[in-house]
Amino acid sequence: MESSALLFNQLKAADPFFLLAGPNVIESEEHVLYMAKHIKSVAAKVGLPLVFKSSFDKANRTSSKSFRGPGMAEGLKILEKVKATYDIPIVTDVHETIQCEAVGRVADIIQIPAFLCRQTDLLVAAARTGKIINIKKGQFCASSVMENSAEKVRLAGNPHVMVCERGTMFGYNDLIVDPRNLEWMREANCPVVADVTHALQQPAGRKLEGGGVASGGLRELIPCIARTAVAVGVDGLFMEVHNDPLNSPVDGPTQWPLRHLEELLEELVAIARASKGKQQLKIDLTPYHL
């Protein structure tokens, strides 16, 4: 818990924001190490604290035929190697209570997927690891739900919790990002993160050759959503990044190209530093006369 408190306080104090970034899923040890090396270099260059992200199992893929990752045992070994090789903290997600203890031995931040953000047993099991918990807001949830989810973690004895906006369902195959949520989620009394890549998914919106569907996405709008988020004053950004997004086996349409990461982050840092989004503007409603 002591190391979690140290990292949590470092992230809370990040100026202007911290970064959770990496490829959506572990494709291979070689690929994850490559991505970690280059993302760490970029983050250091632009002056952002980095937590490296990748998943060992994508349990909620649209199709049962889709690539899911190497599984927990192999995936945690790879993430542990990333952590040791590049001396960076790790964030990865869990889907079941039985995964939490093992994941907590490797990950510095345990992420709760959006679909599972209200699952009390999962939140409590993750909280009891003592690691920082990042809760994705469900696509079906109002921002106020995150107050209750964060409180479940705290009541389990873990004060180190963050909440993350990742878009809201807008019809059947689309998401919309409501910037008001970035403000309202502060009511959870913890750091607010904006997932600027998953927020641009088009769930089950892409038909596949031979039948079936997969999630599409609007990669070209990632800068738009990211600019909005940092101007509002979020504490952290979550971005999935890939060196070859067109050939990524998972969420290719919403992964940001590695070659453009530095360029985008430099702009976002500049916007965040110019904005007063983290400062509450006091509105005076007393009569005003010139």
Any idea which residues carry the catalytic annotation? Answer: 24, 58, 251
Token couple for 39: 């993302």
Contacts of 108 (CB under 8 A, 6+ apart): 3, 4, 7, 51, 89, 90, 91, 131, 132
Q: CA 28 to CA 48: how far, in whole Å?
A: 26
Q: Are 110 and 95 in contact (CB under 8 A)?
A: no
Indicate the burial class of 169 (C-beta count within 10 angstroms; 0-12, 13-18, 19 or more).
middle
Q: Amino acid identity, residue 10?
A: Q
Cα–Cα distances (Å) from 144 to 112, 127, 148, 186, in that order, read: 17, 20, 7, 10
- On the question of a cis peptide bond just before residue 159, with omega within 30 degrees of 0, the verdict is no
Percentage helix, strand, coil for the chain under 3-state DSSP, each rounded to 5: 45, 20, 35
> To the nearest 10°, the Cα dihedral for 46, 49, 55, 60?
-90
Contacts of 64 (CB under 8 A, 6+ apart): none
Token couple for 269: 């840092």
